[in-house]
């Protein structure tokens, strides 16, 4: 596990975008797993800038982690009103790069058969050859996607009920500014499972801010437990990079060791 610590959110985002950009350049047909939430926005803005400077996404295939059940993209209403993750991805990334519409996969929050859709989504990932690089953030309770505390670490794409903390976090981040009453926001979501994420060939986890410091430490240095579903990263056998700003890294017990390892790899050209 490569743990990369940068001075602030902007530098962390720059680093994460660089990781994704290298994958796209080295493998134009790569399959990217993408995430929503406030943390990836800086990464996506840098990817947009890289695209304007020549980075080609025309052959990239994208799969998003999750979507609320009961919502879907509606480009006819303002961004603040349409709170779907599909809309988020359209506004924050897809409409600014040359990824092909047919290569974008986002869970369908309006499907009439959520369970059937989950099975189909898993098969689509397999048909694409698997995910080359999965971008994930980390929830306030340590979840990946919407795999809330207690979710199986072997889970596949499924329907999940959202925890009180996730509902509160997402209300403050997205729904409050839209004037949506707290009890009117979606309480269920379709999400890639932890097992689905762990099938990815590479994982890039990003986190920012002191409010994530405790849960980042539990994820990386605590026990592997279904109560912190992101702690499954410790079981991952592929290439994994964790990019943090100093605030998010501040509770790591072995922080100086991680910084030392990064410097050694840079010095000896092993990064």
Active site residue: 92, 108, 122, 148, which one? Answer: 148
Reported confidence tier of residue 187, pLDDT bands at 50, 70, 90: confident
Token representation of residue 40: 């990836």
* Residue 271 pLDDT greater than 70, yes or no: no
Please list the residues that pair with 241 across neighbouring strands. 2, 204
Reported confidence tier of residue 270, pLDDT bands at 50, 70, 90: confident
Contacts of 91 (CB under 8 A, 6+ apart): 79
143 is catalytic: yes
What is the C-alpha separation between 104 and 207, in angstroms, rounded? 24
172 occurs within a structural domain: yes
217 occurs within a structural domain: no
The total of structural domains in the chain comes to 1
Token representation of residue 262: 């990064």
Q: Which helix (H) or strand (E) holds 48?
A: helix 41-52
CATH no. for residue 121?
Answer: 3.40.50.1360
What is the C-alpha separation between 256 and 224, in angstroms, rounded? 22
Sign of the C-alpha dihedral, residues 240, 5, 64, 192? positive
pLDDT of res. 201:
97
148 is catalytic: yes
Active site residue: 92, 108, 132, 141, which one? Answer: 141
Inter-residue contact 66 to 189 (CB < 8 Å): yes
Token representation of residue 243: 């990019």
pLDDT in tens, 95-135: 999 999 999 999 999 999 999 999 999 999 999 999 999 99
* Residue 142 pLDDT greater than 90, yes or no: yes
pLDDT of res. 186:
84
First to last CA, the chain: 12
Question: Between 42 and 170, whose confidence is greater?
Answer: 42
* Residue 178 pLDDT greater than 70, yes or no: no
260 is catalytic: no
Q: What is the mean pLDDT of residues 25-38?
A: 96
What is the C-alpha separation between 24 and 133, in angstroms, rounded? 10
81 occurs within a structural domain: yes
175 occurs within a structural domain: yes
What is the C-alpha separation between 80 and 89, in angstroms, rounded? 13
Token representation of residue 256: 């100086």
Active site residue: 66, 67, 92, 122, which one? Answer: 66
Domain with 65, as residue range(s), is 2-140+149-212+231-267
Inter-residue contact 68 to 189 (CB < 8 Å): yes
106 occurs within a structural domain: yes
* Residue 41 pLDDT greater than 80, yes or no: yes
Let me know if 48 is exposed, middle or buried by CB neighbors in 10 A (0-12, 13-18, 19+).
middle
48 occurs within a structural domain: yes
Closest to 233 (Cα-Cα) out of 214, 244, 220, 245: 220
86 occurs within a structural domain: yes
Q: What is the mean pLDDT of residues 254-268?
A: 91
* Residue 162 pLDDT greater than 80, yes or no: yes
Please list the residues that pair with 227 across neighbouring strands. none
76 occurs within a structural domain: yes
Please list the residues that pair with 32 across neighbouring strands. 62, 133
Active site residue: 132, 143, 169, 245, which one? Answer: 143
Reported confidence tier of residue 225, pLDDT bands at 50, 70, 90: very high
66 is catalytic: yes
pLDDT in tens, 47-71: 999 999 999 999 999 999 999 999 8
Reported confidence tier of residue 239, pLDDT bands at 50, 70, 90: confident
pLDDT of res. 172:
73
């Amino acid at each position: 596990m490569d743990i990369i610590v940068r001075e602030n959110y902007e530098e962390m985002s720059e680093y994460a975008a660089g990781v994704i950009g290298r994958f796209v350049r080295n493998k134009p047909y790569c399959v990217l797993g993408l995430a929503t939430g406030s943390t990836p926005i800086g990464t996506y803005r840098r990817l947009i800038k890289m695209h304007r400077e020549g980075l080609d996404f025309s052959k990239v295939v994208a799969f998003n982690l999750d979507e609320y059940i009961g919502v879907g993209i509606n480009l006819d209403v303002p961004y603040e009103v349409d709170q779907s993750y599909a809309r988020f991805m359209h506004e924050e990334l897809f409409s600014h790069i040359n990824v092909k519409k047919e290569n974008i996969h986002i869970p369908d929050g309006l499907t009439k058969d959520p369970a059937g859709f989950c099975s189909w989504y898993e098969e689509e990932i397999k048909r694409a050859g698997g995910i080359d690089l999965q971008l994930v953030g980390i929830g306030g309770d340590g979840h990946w996607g919407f795999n809330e505390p207690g979710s199986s670490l072997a889970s596949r794409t499924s329907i999940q009920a959202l925890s009180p903390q996730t509902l509160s976090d997402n209300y403050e981040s997205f729904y409050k500014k839209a004037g949506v009453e707290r009890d009117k926001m979606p309480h269920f979501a379709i999400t890639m499972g932890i097992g689905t994420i762990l099938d990815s060939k590479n994982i890039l986890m990003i986190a920012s801010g002191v409010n994530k410091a405790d849960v980042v430490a539990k994820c990386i240095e605590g026990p592997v437990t279904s109560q912190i579903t992101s702690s499954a990263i410790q079981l991952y056998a592929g290439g994994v990079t964790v990019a943090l700003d100093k605030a998010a890294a501040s509770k790591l017990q072995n922080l100086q060791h991680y910084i030392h390892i990064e410097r050694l790899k840079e010095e000896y050209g092993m990064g």
